[in-house]
Homo-oligomer: A and B are copies of this chain.
């Protein structure tokens, strides 16, 4: 049985949980409070030298880091990772888009607003994070206005990755009312068999 080390409320940690739920696979959960330094202990760093959550323990001594790498690993040979070469390429494109152009703006803005005190100096980062986050949302809106899901007609791990922080983008100060295709897509993600809310 898989063991997942992660922090509740983290979108990155929600991604493998959501896919495991779709797949109907059991796993055990180990809560890691990053804010208390629990991802920087010697024991944790032995699993992931980069000190980030989540970590997927495939078996004792065999640990995988990076949430989107977990989606690829767990999604292989399932309906959530297409086998067609071009569709799979598009899935990969959106997974890297998520980690480079989306998460560093939208998740970070959410972190600052949700977890740091109101007078924290990192609030100065918000205008730039907002501008870049809206760029990412505009790219998503344009794409989803043309097709149901990120890799075409089929719900895939690309949707799981992008849903994780998009559906809570309001907590980062992003108003989704101007992105109707994204809101339509959020509803479709929620209606997929086996969907679970973030926790």
Contacts and interface: CB of A to CB of B under 8 A. Distances in A.
Nearest to A89: B73
A154 to B, nearest CB: 17
B86 A50 contact: no
Contact of A96 (B66, B85, B136, B142): B66
A40 to B, nearest CB: 11
B62 A86 contact: yes
Interface string A31-67: 0000000000000000001101000001000101111
A92 interface: yes
A198 interface: no
A135 to B, nearest CB: 8
A97 interface: yes
Copies of this protein, total: 2
Chief secondary structure at chain A's binding surface: helix
Given A66-B92, A73-B85, A93-B66, A100 B99 contact: yes
B89 A142 contact: no
Interface size class of A (residues with CB under 8 A): 20 to 34
Nearest to A142: B49
A72 interface: yes
A104 interface: yes
Interface string A134-173: 0110010011000000000000000000000000000000
Nearest to A12: B100
Contacts of A67: 96
9 contacts: A49-B139, A50-B135, A50-B139, A64-B90, A65-B93, A66-B100, A72-B88, A73-B88, A76-B85
B50 A97 contact: yes
Contact of A89 (B64, B93, B97, B143): B64
